[in-house]
Structure 1
Amino acid sequence: MAAAETKRGHRRHFVLVHGMCHGAWCWYKAVTALRRSGHRATALDMAGCGTHPARVDEVRSFEEYSRPLLDAMAALPPGERVVLIAHSHGGYSVALAVERFPDRVATAVFVAASEPAVGRPMAATSDELLAYVGPDFFLDSTELQQEDPNIKGKPFIFGPNFMAQTLYQLSPPEDLTLGLMLIKPANPLTTGNPDETVMRDAKLLTEERYGLVRRVFVEVEDDHGIPVEFQRRMVAQSPSIEVEEIAGADHMAMLSRPEELVELLSRIANN
C-alpha cells in the first residue's frame, strides 16, 4: 500500500504477536514495511520471550505469558481499535485478547497460527495439533528441566534441524541464522497441565465477544510447522472466519514472504 493512500484515512495500528521460542524480533521485516507504508506497527514480546526480562521459570501461567499483550490492549486510548496479528502459538494469546477486549479489536488475523474455536478449550487445538503431527515431529528440539517445581510442564527449545527443515525451509539463510541466535526456551503452558485454567476453560471463548470480532485466517500452503491440512481443520471449526492465502511462504511467512504478507495484511485491514 502506498503511503499516499494511508494519508486518505487508511492508517491502521497493527499489533503483532510472535510464536513459540521466538520474540518480537521475528517481525522486523513486517514492522519496517508497515511503518514505511504509513501504518503504526507494534511488535510485542510475550513474558519470558525476546527481550522481556522474565525467565521462563518465572512465567507461571498462560495468563502471565500473555500479560504484555493484555496490558497493551488495556492501555489503548479510548476508541482506538487495532488489527491484531497472530503467528503460530501467538494465536492463543490473540484469542484471549480478543475475548477480553472485543471493542478494541478491528480485526484479528491468524497467520500460520493456532486458531481456537468458540466453545472449546484453547488447549484442545494444541492437543489436536500434537496428535496430528506425531511424537517425532520436533526432530532435534530439546526438552529442558523445569527449575521451579511449582510450575507445570517443561520448557523446551527448537533444534537447528527442526528450524531449518520445518519452520524456515523457504526463508533466507540469514534469517535462519538470526533465529538460531535469538530463540529462547519456552514453556507451552497449553498441554499436559490440567491446572492451566485459561487454556482448559471450555467457556472462555464466547460467541458474544470472540465470535463477534472479525477474524481472518491466512492459509500457508507450504507451512510445515502447522500443515495446511490442519490449518483447514481449524478453519472448519470456525465457520464465520474469513480465509485468505499466501503462496511461496513457509511457517515464518513474515521472513520468507514479507512484502506479500504486508500487502495482504494491509488489504485485510482496509477491507
Structure 2
Amino acid sequence: MRSSGHNVTAIDLGASGINPKQVLEIPSLSDYFSPLTEFMASLPAHEKVVLVGHSFGGFAISKAMESFPEKISAAIFLAALMPGPTLNATTLYTQDLALATTLVRPIYLHSTEDISKEMVLSRQNVWINKILPKELKQYMIEKNQPDEVEEFSGYDHMVMMSKPQQFFTLLLAIAKK
C-alpha cells in the first residue's frame, strides 16, 4: 500500500497483536477500542481514512464509524464481525493453523448487553467475508446492510496471509473509490 502512495498505519487494539496490555487489563470495549479511538482523535479534521477491521476488529471500526464519521471515507470489514452474533474461532483458520495458534491471544468476552451499550450503528460500508457460515453471513448482511459485499475464493480467516495480492488489489480498488 505504501509503494502505491498510501499512508498505512497498523493499529493493534487492546491486548491484541503486539499491544502490551493483557486481557484482564481490558475490562470494557472502550478499553479494547482505545488505540483506534486515540488514533482517530489525533487525525487532523481535514483527513479521511479507509479503515480495515479484521475479525473482532470489526467491532472497533464500527464504533469508529459512529464516533468519527467525518474522518472515514470507507470501512472494510475483512472476515470481520459486525455487531451482532458471536462466532466460533475453530472454523476460521484453514491455511496455517500452527502460525495462527502462536498469534492468537485470549479475548475478554463481552455480553450482548455490553456491546449494545457501547455502540449503536447507523451505517456500514464494505464487508469482505467468505469464512463464516452462510446463514451467519446472511444474517449479518441483512442486519447491517453494507453498501457493498465483496467475496473472492481460496482464502481463510487470515486473508492478508493466505491471499495477500488479491487483498491488496481489492484494497487499492476500494481506496480509489
- SS of the equivalent of 1:267 reads helix
Q: How large is the RMSD of aligned CA atoms in angstroms?
A: 2.1
Equivalent position of 1:38 in the other structure: 5
How much does 1:216 deviate? 0.8
Find the counterpart in structure 2 of residue 167 from structure 1: 92
Work out which of the two has the higher radius of gyration on C-alpha atoms and give 1 or 2. 1
Q: Which of structure 1's runs of 4+ aligned residues deviate more than 4 A?
A: none
Distance in 2, Cα, partners of 1:201 & 1:57: 20
Do structure 1's residue 66 and structure 2's residue 19 form an aligned pair? no
Give the 3 Å change call, closer, same or farther, for CA 112–182 of structure 1 in structure 2: closer
The one-letter code sitting in structure 2 at the alignment partner of 1:186 is I
Q: Is the 8 A contact 1:82 1:107 kept in 2?
A: yes
More off after superposition, 49-58 vs 87-96: 49-58
CA deviation after TM superposition for structure 1 residue 180, in Å: 2.4
CA contact (8 A) 1:246 1:261 kept: no
Which structure carries more strand by proportion? 1
Aligned counterpart, 1:145: none
Q: Is the aligned partner of 1:83 residue 2:50?
A: yes
Amino acid at match of 1:103: E
CA–CA distance in structure 1, aligned partners of residues 38 and 135 of structure 2:
34
Q: Do residues 242 (structure 1) and 148 (structure 2) align? A: yes
Q: TM-score, normalised by structure 2?
A: 0.89
Match status 1:187 vs 2:108: yes
Q: Measure how far apart 1:190 and its partner are.
A: 4.0
Equivalents in 2 of 1:190, 1:261: separation in Å? 32
- Contact kept, 8 Å, 2:27 with 2:108, in 1: the verdict is no
Superposed, which structure 2 residues align to 1:99-248 within 5 Å?
A: 99-116=66-83, 125-126=84-85, 129-130=86-87, 137=88, 162=90, 166-169=91-94, 171=95, 173=96, 176-191=97-112, 194=113, 196=114, 199-201=115-117, 204-207=119-122, 211=123, 215-220=125-130, 223=131, 226-239=132-145, 241-248=147-154
Residue 268 of structure 1 corresponds to 174
TM-score normalised to structure 1 length: 0.60
Question: For structure 1, which runs of at least 5 residues remain unmatched after alignment?
Answer: 1-33, 117-124, 131-136, 139-161
Q: Secondary structure at the match of 2:31?
A: helix
1:116-137, Cα deviation, whole Å (9 max, x unpaired): 3xxxxxxxx13xx45xxxxxx5
Q: Deviation of residue 177 (structure 1)? A: 3.4
- Identity percentage of aligned residues: 36
SS in structure 2 at match of 1:66: helix
Deviation at 1:240, TM superposition (A): 5.1
Counting matched residue pairs gives 177
Q: How far apart are the structure 2 equivalents of 1:258 and 1:61? A: 32
Which residue is 1:256 aligned to?
162
Secondary structure at the residue paired with 2:10? strand
Q: 2: CA distance between counterparts of 1:184 and 1:262?
A: 26
Question: Structure 2: how far apart are the matches of 1:85 and 1:102?
Answer: 15
